[in-house]
Amino acid sequence: MRQCAVLICVVAIVVGVAEGGLLDWFRSDKNKGHDVCRVNFEVLDPHGLRMWTSQKPQMKGFGVELVINPVRGRKQQLCNVCRNTTEVTHGKFFLQDENVIVKSGDILEYVIITDNGKTVQRHKPRKLVVEDYLIKPKERCACPVSDVTSTATPARQVVDDPMAEIALLERILERVSEKCAEGAMSSFLFLQTDRVDGAPVDDLKQIVRAYFEKKDALKPLLDTILTAEDASDGIVFRVKSIIDKLKILEIARQDGDIIDFDKLTAIDDMDIRASFDEAS
């Protein structure tokens, strides 16, 4: 009987420690050094691809497995760029492939791999649609302005500078004319997120809204979000108009978390839009 009481006491202590978060503190130690900054891309002309990310504390190594225009439904994809490095240059990990050919309109699906010296972690797949601004002449590094000076980012300028807003609208109108020439365009966007799969559908719209609320330049566009639906490695959401969509794409361009859903469906041969209630 005494042994049973001791066992119950031990169980109670373990449960109390777990609820107090102490076990989480021990568990999380192996995950230190796996936080990763945004990955920057440069497509080199006529061939080549350069990637870099800032080194986070305790990160010892950085790698990537990248597929160009992945085929939907195929389990084994050909890795077009599989590289890793432990070398840090000016606080950044750089990766470069001299031979790969990437074109405007291609979709890059990539898995980030981090090493903290003890464990290696594979992150959730992410996608990037290659646009013209990513393509640079070879042998010239065109690092983002925010990496080398304190100049405000375009998103910040939209909030602070009326002239930046006008320039943004001019670019949107230009893109609208281009899209009209290409054909039909929807008002759907794709938010890449590391949320736990299977989250309640009712929360998906709130997840998108929470993302907008964290970005000063996107806050004014909160009311444009109409619907949201689950998708692989992210959330598909619809906004009120094509102008709203293009404005969001321009503002969110640097972060790379929001991409054009139309371009994804063109490659994946998938149309999740049919399940949306267009009348809502």
Containing 23, the helix (H) or strand (E) segment is: helix 22-28
pLDDT on residue 92: 93
What would the two tokens of residue 92 be?
Answer: 């950044």
122 close to 113: Cβ distance less than 8 angstroms: yes
Per-residue model confidence as pLDDT tens digits over 176-235: 655 554 556 789 999 998 765 555 666 899 999 999 999 999 999 999 999 999 887 789
pLDDT on residue 255: 83
Per-residue model confidence as pLDDT tens digits over 68-95: 998 877 777 889 999 999 999 999 999 9
pLDDT on residue 275: 39
More confident residue, 7 or 183: 183
Per-residue model confidence as pLDDT tens digits over 138-163: 655 545 444 433 333 455 555 556 56
Task: Answer whether residue 277 shows pLDDT above 50.
Answer: no
pLDDT on residue 29: 55
pLDDT on residue 166: 63
Give 23's pLDDT tier (boundaries 50, 70, 90).
very low
Residue-range domains of the chain with CATH: 33-137 (2.60.40.2140), 188-268 (no CATH)
218 close to 212: Cβ distance less than 8 angstroms: yes
DSSP H helical ranges for 144-193: 145-148, 154-160, 162-182
The residue-averaged pLDDT of 264-270 equals 58
Task: Answer whether residue 173 shows pLDDT above 90.
Answer: no
Least confident of 116-125, 134-143, 241-250, 267-276: 267-276
Gap between the Cα atoms of 59 and 34, Å rounded? 6
pLDDT on residue 208: 94
pLDDT on residue 56: 87
* b/e map 128-147, b = 16+ CB within 10 Å: bbbbeebbeeeeeeeeeeee
User: 3-class DSSP state for residue 169?
Assistant: helix
